[in-house]
Amino acid sequence: MVDVRSGIGEALPPPEVEDVELYHPHSWWTRYVFSQDAKIIAIQYGTTAIAIGMVALVLSWLIRLQLGFPGTFELIDAERYYQFITMHGMIMVIYLLTALFLGGFGNYLIPLMVGARDMVFPYANMLSYWIYLLAVIVLAASFFTPGGPTGAGWTLYPPQAVLSGTPGGRDWGIIMMLSSLIIFVIGFTMGGLNYVVTVLQGRARGMTLMRLPLTVWGIFTATVMALLAFPALFVACVMMLFDRLLGTSFFMPAIVEMGEQLQYGGGSPILFQHLFWFFGHPEVYIVALPAFGIVSDLISTHARKNIFGYRMMVWAIVIIGGLSFIVWAHHMYVSGMNPYFGFFFATTTLIIAVPTAIKVYNWVLTLWRGNIHLTLPMLFALAFIVTFVNGGLTGLFLGNVVVDVPLSDTMFVVAHFHMVMGVAPIMVIFGAIYHWYPKITGRMLNEAMGQIHFWVTFIGAYAIFFPMHYLGLIGVPRRYHELGEASFVTTSIAELNAFISVMALLVGAAQIVFLFNLAWSLRHGREAGGNPWRATTLEWQTPETPPPHGNWGNELPVVYRWAYDYSVPGAPEDFIPQNQPTPGRLSHETVS
């Protein structure tokens, strides 16, 4: 048994973390535009990601208009439809979710939560954002090139991605897409090195790994995974660019396209799929793990209770991160790869369900006997659990190789991944923005607008994607511009599709309320004070709100306890900040 009081009143050890020399901005430009302050970079990342995300949102409306009311909108022909779904998918997965979780929340929260003044390599951090912005611009520019953006689907499978039957295949579209991804990976690597090394080396005195908030654990693990997985995307994109521009045959077999013999030969489309999914599957967890981490902190703070089974939560994050590298081929059960791989990948995939389920149990067990404040962050956290459990469980269908055979490439897959890595993480993003907006701006977001936003988004999103699974079960394939007449559709599904589309338009409209709220509250929101949620973690303990460059004033914080000292028996308040030495913790031995 460790003596819990041993830490109290002991002499301070010499500072182990050197106070870093901060870059001092000299002008408005270097302070707010070419800023090296992680918090400014975070806001830049966040606004860029949300801006390009709005493009993807509009594209989703157009997609749903076509699916819900086929033939009504002349504008959305097959070619445009495929361009829309491709750009929607790629933007959402890479340029919104990855960039917002790691570039946005990672930059803002890591230095503050570990008690550092800034990231360890601020210059590389700044470059990371500008390179990301370049990637976004190249991507967006492809809308204006002759032939338009690529319509190969977000998976960009060759050979079709670079052939004339696909929109943008022999034009600029695919070239711009591949270039943009290559640029993104370079930019991300610069940022990613920062996030990892800051967590490793930038932690304040007393901040052991087991005292890190789960948010930091989630972002840290996701970044490590991203650093190892993105090279696969990089290699795949470079090789496909060679195939497209220089006539190599990495992925291109002998092809007769529309009766015309192409000069390619011998290449393997499956090789691309292996490389793509070697990146693509970890990518799912690159988005999910930060969400796991953040939602743990939201639930704990707003239920005024420590996160249940913290150690288990940490182990689960690490185990999920590791396992996610050996499951990639479950996206390829019907790709024509050696069918015997199915046994291995189905087993590893279903094993991942166990640590993931443990995380879910621990979230709901944190609610048990809590003191649940139904604030907006808490509501979004509850919505996350519902949608994540739903989407995670349908993953057990698709991961189980034989069940995947009828369901793969149907709307079931679309419903599954939207629920699990679209809706669920975005619920966390909203919750996190409602939670940390007061720290970023000093003001609270408007509650009434927030309630409207929450209810429409949550119920609407569930109503979109839950019934969609059943379309897939009937056998409706995904990526169909128009299903038309089909003999296997025994019941009319047109009404269901129309209903889903109406819901999608509604949910999209609710996001406008959210954006308005973000802008409105900047001026008119209620003053928040330094720690409006009465939270324990370090970012709420800064001397000033919003924290200035350097975060901590003259003295770095010293950490005395873990991140979850809520409702500790005997303490005067229902929370004890991590940097508070004297507690009033009397009855510890009895509760453990």
Partner 1 sequence: MAVVVILVLLAVGSVLFHLLSPWWWTPIASNWNYIDNTITITFWITGIAFTAVVLFMAYCVLRFRHRPGNTAAYEPENRRLEGWLATGTTFGVAAMLAPGLFVWNQFVTVPQDASEVEVIGQQWLWSFRLPGADGKLGTTETRDIAPENSLGVNRDDAAGQDDIIIEGGELHLPVGKPVKMLLRSVDVLHDFYVPEFRAKMDMVPGMITYFWLTPTRTGTFEILCAELCGVGHPQMRGTVVVDTEEDYQAWLAEQQTFSQLSASSETRAIPGRVCSGSPSGIATEQGTGAFALFEEERKCFGPAATTVAASAAQ
Partner 2 sequence: MSIVAFFLAAIAAIVVWWLAGQRLTSRPWLEVGHFHDRRGATRLPPAKIGLGVFLAVIGALFSLAISAYFMRMASSDWGALPLPGLLWLNTGILAAGSITLHWTRVEAERRNDEAARIGLLAALALGLAFLVGQLFAWRALSDAGYFLAGNPANSFFYLLTGMHGLHIIGGLFALGRVTAHASQTPLDNRTRLSIELCAIYWHFMQIVWLVLFALFAGWASGVIEFCRQLLT
Distance between CA atoms of residues 132 and 121, nearest Å: 17
Stretch near partner 1 under the rule CB under 8 A, chosen from 9-17, 30-38, 129-137, 163-171: 163-171
d(CA 325, CA 282): 6
CB of 404 to partner 1, least distance (A): 9
Residue 470: contacted member of partner 2, partner 1, none (CB under 5 to 8 Å, by partner type)? partner 1
270 binds partner 1 (CB under 8 A): yes
Closest among 398, 521, 417 to 465, alpha carbons compared: 417
In whole angstroms, the minimum distance from the beta carbon of 215 to partner 1 comes to 18
Residue 399: count other Cβ atoms within 10 Å of its Cβ: 22
Q: Which residue has the tokens 């052991």?
A: 208
Residue 523 interacts with partner 2 (CB under 8 A): yes or no = no
Check binding of 155 to partner 2 (CB under 8 A). Answer: no
Task: Give the residue with the Cβ less far from partner 2, 479 or 588.
Answer: 588
Q: Give min distance, CB of 91 to partner 2, in A.
A: 24
Q: Please state the closest distance from residue 7 (CB atom) to partner 2, in A.
A: 1
Report in angstroms how near the CB of residue 89 gets to partner 1 at its nearest: 11
* Residue 257: strand, helix, or coil: strand
Alpha-helical runs (H) found in 303-340: 310-323
Closest CB to partner 2 among residues 365, 498: 365
* 209, two tokens: 């790994």
- Give yes or no for residue 30 binding partner 1 (CB under 8 A): no
**Inter-residue contact 566 to 536 (CB < 8 Å):** yes
How wide is the angle at C-alpha 475 spanned by C-alphas 471 and 477, nearest 5°? 85
| Region of 44-52, 141-149, 527-535, 554-562 interacting with partner 2 (CB under 8 A) | 554-562
C-alpha of 108 from chain center: 15
Q: Considering the rule CB under 8 A, would residue 317 count as an interface residue with partner 1?
A: no
Taking CB under 8 A as the criterion, which residues in 171-210 touch partner 2?
189, 192-193, 196-198, 200-202, 205-210
Q: 361: Cβ–Cβ under 8 A, 6 or more apart, which residues? A: none
Instruction: Assess 255 for contact with partner 1 (CB under 8 A).
Output: yes
- How far apart CA 592 and CA 589 sit, in angstroms, is 6
How many C-alpha atoms does 445 have within 13 Å on its Cβ side? 27
Position 456 contacts partner 1 (CB under 8 A): no
User: Does residue 159 bind partner 2 (CB under 8 A)?
Assistant: no
Angle at CA 168, nearest 5°, toward 164 and 172? 115
The entry of partner 1, partner 2, none that residue 560 binds, CB within 5 to 8 Å by partner kind: partner 2
Residue 325 binds partner 2 (CB under 8 A): yes
**CA proximity to 193, closest of 117, 107, 101:** 107
- Least distance to partner 1 from the beta carbon of 59, Å? 16
Among 115, 321, 370, 577, binds partner 1 (CB under 8 A): 370
CA atoms within 13 A on the CB side of 278: 16
Asked if residue 216 binds partner 2 (CB under 8 A), the reply is no
CB of 483 to partner 2, least distance (A): 36
Chain positions 334 to 363 lying near partner 1, rule: CB under 8 A, are: 334-336, 339-340, 342-343, 346-347, 350-351, 353-354, 357-358, 360-362
What sign does the dihedral 26-32-35-39 (CA atoms) show? positive
- Amino acid identity at 88: H
Minimum CB–partner distance for residue 27 and partner 1 (Å): 48
- 133 or 393, CB closer to partner 1? 393
Which residues, at least 6 apart from 125, have a Cβ–Cβ distance to it below 8 Å? 36, 38, 41, 107, 119, 190, 191, 194
583 binds, among partner 1, partner 2, none (CB under 5 to 8 A by kind): partner 2
What residues does 256 pair with on adjacent strands? 261
Quickly list DSSP for 508-541.
HHHHHHHHHHHHHHHHHSPB--S-TT---SGGGG
Name which of 373 and 526 has its Cβ closer to partner 1: 373
Q: Pick what 402 binds: partner 1, partner 2, none; C-beta below 5 to 8 Å, kind-dependent.
A: partner 1
Considering only residues 130, 409, 452, 494, which one is a binding residue for partner 1 as defined by CB under 8 A?
Answer: 409
Residue 106 touches partner 2, criterion: CB under 8 A: no
Report in angstroms how near the CB of residue 17 gets to partner 2 at its nearest. 8
Residue from 178, 287, 198 nearest 240 by CA: 178
Selected from 255, 262, 271, 489, the binder of partner 2 by CB under 8 A is 271
CB-side neighbour CA atoms (13 Å) of 351: 15
Map residues 66-95 to x or -, x wherever contact with partner 1 holds by CB under 8 A: ------------xx--x-------------
